[in-house]
């Protein structure tokens, strides 16, 4: 199973872009990269996912390197409400019906005024 490595914590100034890195050097060709975030004492919230191409939605952008060994989640204009733990996850396939998500320790992002 592919594992991910993320920094334990990061700070970001309010209004600036937050760039959260993730290494997944053992990722397989058919495994997706997912990002979730968890605000204290709540359930994790889906942010974005991707396979090879860069992806963007209303919450964030996901940049995946060409060799797929690492990725970066970008929050373009961080707000105080973006303070949370961010999890980078590689989806593990289970049979033909899709995968279970294995969570690591995540990155604790603190957005400061």
Partner 1 sequence: DGGITQSPKYLFRKEGQNVTLSCEQNLNHDAMYWYRQDPGQGLRLIYYSQIVNDFQKGDIAEGYSVSREKKESFPLTVTSAQKNPTAFYLCASSITGARSNYGYTFGSGTRLTVV
> Which residues contact partner 1 by CB under 8 A?
32, 34, 36, 41-46, 49, 87, 91, 94-95, 97-106
CB 106 within 8 A of CB 4: no
Is residue 7 within 8 Å of residue 21, measured between CB atoms?
yes
Separation between Cα atoms, residue 111 and residue 108, nearest integer Å: 10
Q: Smallest gap, in angstroms, from Cβ of residue 25 to partner 1?
A: 19
Between 75 and 90, CB nearer to partner 1: 90
CA distance 96 to 68: 23
Given the complex with partner 1, which of 18 and 44 has the nearer CB atom? 44
Q: Residue 61 Cβ, how far from partner 1 at the closest point, in Å?
A: 17
Residue with smaller CB distance to partner 1, 14 or 61: 61
């Amino acid at each position: 199973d592919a594992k991910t490595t993320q920094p334990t914590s990061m700070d970001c100034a309010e209004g600036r872009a937050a760039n959260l890195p993730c290494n997944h050097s053992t990722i397989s060709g058919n495994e997706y990269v997912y990002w979730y975030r968890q605000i204290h004492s709540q359930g994790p919230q889906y942010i974005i996912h991707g396979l090879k191409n860069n992806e963007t939605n209303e919450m964030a952008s996901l940049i995946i390197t060409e060799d797929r060994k690492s990725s970066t989640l970008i929050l373009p204009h961080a707000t105080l409400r973006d303070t949370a733990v961010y999890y980078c996850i590689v989806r593990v396939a289970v049979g033909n019906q899709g995968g279970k998500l294995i969570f690591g320790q995540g990155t604790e992002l603190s957005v400061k005024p």
